[in-house]
């Protein structure tokens, strides 16, 4: 998946907005939390998954999906190397992350 395809797909979710976030672009549900960030230079994304899903997606990534290597990873933030992952797998991860943020109470 290209970064442009990622961006377009992330913005298809209702109420999603795109904003700069340090050296990345962030995708969040309005008035809720960020569910993904995109780093165009490295062609990678960090996606916020429930911990149970983080483990599942990592097993299917053949090394291209892994927890962010710090405390963020322990909170479910997971790196996806976009060029190494099938589009459907990435779309499933984005949908999982979006649904988790959308169904959470605002601010959580």
pLDDT of residue 106: 63
Whether the Cβ atoms of residue 23 and residue 39 lie closer than 8 Å to each other: yes
Query: Residue 5's pLDDT band (boundaries 50, 70, 90)?
Result: very high
Helices 87-103 + 3-10 axis angle, to 10? 30
Q: Mean pLDDT check: name the lowest of 31-45, 54-68, 92-106.
A: 92-106
Give pLDDT tens digits for 58-81.
999 889 999 999 999 999 999 999
Residue 12 main-chain phi, psi, to 5 deg: -80, -15
Give pLDDT tens digits for 41-53.
999 999 999 999 9
Run of H or E including 25: strand 24-29
């Amino acid at each position: 998946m290209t970064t442009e395809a990622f961006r377009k797909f992330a913005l298809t979710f209702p109420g999603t907005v795109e904003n700069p976030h340090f050296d990345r672009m962030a995708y969040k549900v309005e008035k809720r939390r960020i569910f993904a960030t995109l780093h165009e230079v490295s062609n990678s994304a960090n996606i916020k998954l429930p911990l149970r899903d983080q483990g599942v997606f990592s097993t299917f990534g053949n090394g291209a999906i892994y927890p962010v290597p710090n405390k963020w990873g322990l909170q479910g933030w997971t790196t996806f190397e976009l060029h190494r992952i099938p589009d459907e797998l990435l779309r499933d991860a984005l949908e999982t992350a979006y649904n988790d943020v959308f169904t959470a109470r605002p601010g959580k």
